[in-house]
Structure 1
Amino acid sequence: MKSQTIRTTIRTTALCSAVAFLATSCNKKADNTLNYTSAINSYYSAHPACLWSDPVKFPVQADTSNNSKTSNYDALVDQGLLVRTTAEKKVLIIASKQVNNYDLSDKGRAAWTADTTQPGYGNFCYGHRKVSSIDSSTPTTSDPGATTQVSYHYNIPDAAAWATAPETQNAYPQLQTELAAPQNAQATLTNTSNGWQVSSAKSASTASSNDGKIVE
């Protein structure tokens, strides 16, 4: 009889613990790792990682003697995102120079993310951040309006094939860094009526490459 009572007590305790855990997990306003991860992933599902820091417009023209420009665009030609034609551009009445014209290919148009605020402008976006770990967060509460600073690591598991190609990563070195291993970043989260949401975000590393930066 005593052993049955003990077993009943254990089952009851386990059930209560499970209910408490589920209640906390389902509470989007609770200050916990699960909710922080969900908020950051949700934010980046609508903010993909893109090739250039600012939207660009095609077609563009580059002097063939400007290798820093042409090599970047040529890498995208190699991946089928751009098409290249050559031409001569007059600079004086009796002089001219060789230029390359670059425009979106059919494949490029399919991969293009248009900028809704600037007709004709856009970017090549290649994937979305996914949180791999929440490393730390500043003290906060589950009250509406509360904020917390979250440090985390992320990767980009859905990276487009053109972004992982050696030619593209040589032209845009930050791509290789961004996609090689989990990266660290920070975000400010605010507790709203719909749960935790990202109010500002930034990468810990800065982007670099000749013609463009990696952006969120």
Structure 2
Amino acid sequence: MNIHAIRTTLRTAALCGAALALSTGCNKKADNTLNFTNAINTYYSAHPACLWSDPIKFPVQADTSDNSKTSGYDALVDQGLLVRTTAEKKKFIIASKQVNNYDLSDKGRSVWTADTTQPGYGNFCYGHRKVSSIDSSIPTTDAVGATTQIAYHYNIPDAAGWASAAETQTAYPALQTELAAPQNAQATLTNTSNGWQVSSAKSLNTSTNAGKIVE
């Protein structure tokens, strides 16, 4: 076989291989790890992880003698997200107690995620989860309407600086856990005409102090 024929054969093989890889990679309905990962990451790109399990409305008031209530807010004051003022609140006619008032700072308002269902309520969201590994999946098909259960690990590579600060993580231990290492999670995926999509997802970190996903 002459050199021209060899080059033609190699070029044809390369083109065929590229076409096969392209067709496989572009098939969003195929039941494979790449599509499962893309589906979960796409879901999380629109659903950031937030600090509190339920939205909060500011301003809030906390008794200075109750460290369990003030420590979390004080950590956010340290990060410039809240402003703190002190006041006295009357308990009885002749008695009062010292309280702290907390409200959003200008910096806090700039990163505040408002709850569209409850005017005035919102959350501090600190990043987006991203799949680090697909650990297992229930056998399925590439047919539209097929479903599968996925077990996977995720991390949060874009975590906000205030969430990574030592003061914040001390006040919110679950946040420290969430950002420390890849976390376990599960998701149910459904195959649609546009490819695999998440129908439900949940973290296996059960603490209620961090990790809320904004819907």
Match of 1:149, SS state, is strand
Residue identity in the other structure for 1:104 = L
How far apart in 1 are the matches of 2:211 and 2:128?
A: 12
2:211 corresponds to 1:214: yes
Instruction: Give the aligned partner of residue 106 of structure 2.
Output: 106
Question: Deviation string for 1:99-154 (max 9, x for gaps)?
Answer: 11000000100010000111000000000011112121110011111001111111
2:149 corresponds to 1:149: yes
How far apart in 2 are the matches of 1:102 and 1:188?
A: 39
Residue identity in the other structure for 1:215 = K
Between the two proteins, the alignment pairs up a number of residues equal to 213
Instruction: Give the aligned partner of residue 184 of structure 2.
Output: 184
Residue identity in the other structure for 2:28 = K
Residue identity in the other structure for 1:160 = A
| Off by >4 Å, runs of 4+ in structure 1 | 2-11
Q: Normalising by structure 1, what TM-score?
A: 0.93
How far apart in 1 are the matches of 2:183 and 2:7?
A: 47
Instruction: Give the aligned partner of residue 73 of structure 2.
Output: 73
Identity of aligned residues (%): 80
How far apart in 1 are the matches of 2:65 and 2:76?
A: 18
Unaligned runs of 5+ in 1: none
How far apart in 2 are the matches of 1:213 and 1:151?
A: 21
How far apart in 1 are the matches of 2:204 and 2:12?
A: 46
Contact residue 134 and residue 151 of structure 2 kept, 8 A: yes
Question: Deviation string for 1:2-27 (max 9, x for gaps)?
Answer: 88767755554443232112101101
Unaligned runs of 5+ in 2: none
Give 1:11-50 correspondences, 5 Å limit: 11-50=11-50
Residue identity in the other structure for 2:212 = V
Name the CA shift for 1:81/1:140 in 2 (closer, same or farther; >3 Å): same
The offset of 1:193, in angstroms, is 1.3
C-alpha RMSD of the superposition: 1.6
Instruction: Give the aligned partner of residue 198 of structure 2.
Output: 198
Give 1:55-70 correspondences, 5 Å limit: 55-70=55-70
Question: Deviation string for 1:9-48 (max 9, x for gaps)?
Answer: 5554443232112101101111111111111111001100
Match of 1:92, SS state, is coil
